[in-house]
Amino acid sequence: MMTELHAAMPALMAGFGVTLKVLGLAIVGGLAIGTILALMRLSGKKWLSIPAAIYVNYFRSVPLLLVLLWFYFAVPMIYNWITGKFFTLDTAFTSCVVAFMLFEAAYFSEIVRAGIQSIGRGQVSAAYALGMTYRQTMQLVILPQAFRKMLPLVLQQCIILFQDTTMVFAIGLVDLFRAAYVRGDLMGYLTPYILGAGVVYFVISLIASTGVNALKRRLRF
């Protein structure tokens, strides 16, 4: 068993690398889009707030697995429709990143919106009194404080996202979980490999959750 496990380590590490790539890109893209959506919802302009609200409510009302399958088939079609060329990139990886970014943006948006709303209106008034524009007020005064307050919630959502990356199994992307499944099935040790992958996810999530709780205590949440 140990010999087979040693031989499988390169494949497992490659799968873990794919998991981290999907996770990192989804967090960066989802947080960026989520921040824009939150600002749109708080803008006070219906032509901005209503589409943002529809987007957030829609993606929070559909299963992530369904979104992954949609984008797995939709990304190549949309690319071909726009460029007139066939999609030459890794369809599974690209569609997963796009799906996770857009899906998680809805959840990050609510976290960012709550963080912004937690800042007193007096600070906004003070910034305007100093001659700052809306953009300057958000960029220099509100968002830095809001991100500090919502950091534990953002990190907690990132942990959930890390666990959800196992769903890429459904469209054939070889992440850590699928690499463990395929290798275990090939070697006749499917159950130990699956349990081993579960332990990896559990340990990483536990360590991350402990760190988030420590951060909450430090920031006095």
Report the percentage of the chain scoring pLDDT > 90: 53
Confidence band for 3, pLDDT divided at 50, 70 and 90: low
Domain containing 90 equals 19-173
Asked whether the predicted pLDDT for residue 5 surpasses 80, the reply is no
What pLDDT, in 10s, does the model give residues 50-71?
A: 999 999 999 999 999 999 999 8
Structurally, how many domains does the chain consist of? Answer: 1
Q: What is the pLDDT of residues 62-100, one digit of tens each?
A: 999 999 999 888 877 777 777 777 766 678 898 899 999
In a domain, 133, yes or no: yes
Residue 185 lies in a domain: no
From 135, 192, 204, select the one nearest 165 (Cα to Cα): 204
Residue 73: predicted pLDDT = 85
Residue 94 lies in a domain: yes
CA–CA gap between residue 27 and residue 105 (Å, rounded): 9
Query: What value does the mean pLDDT take over residues 134-149?
Result: 84
Distance of alpha carbon 30 from alpha carbon 104, whole angstroms: 5
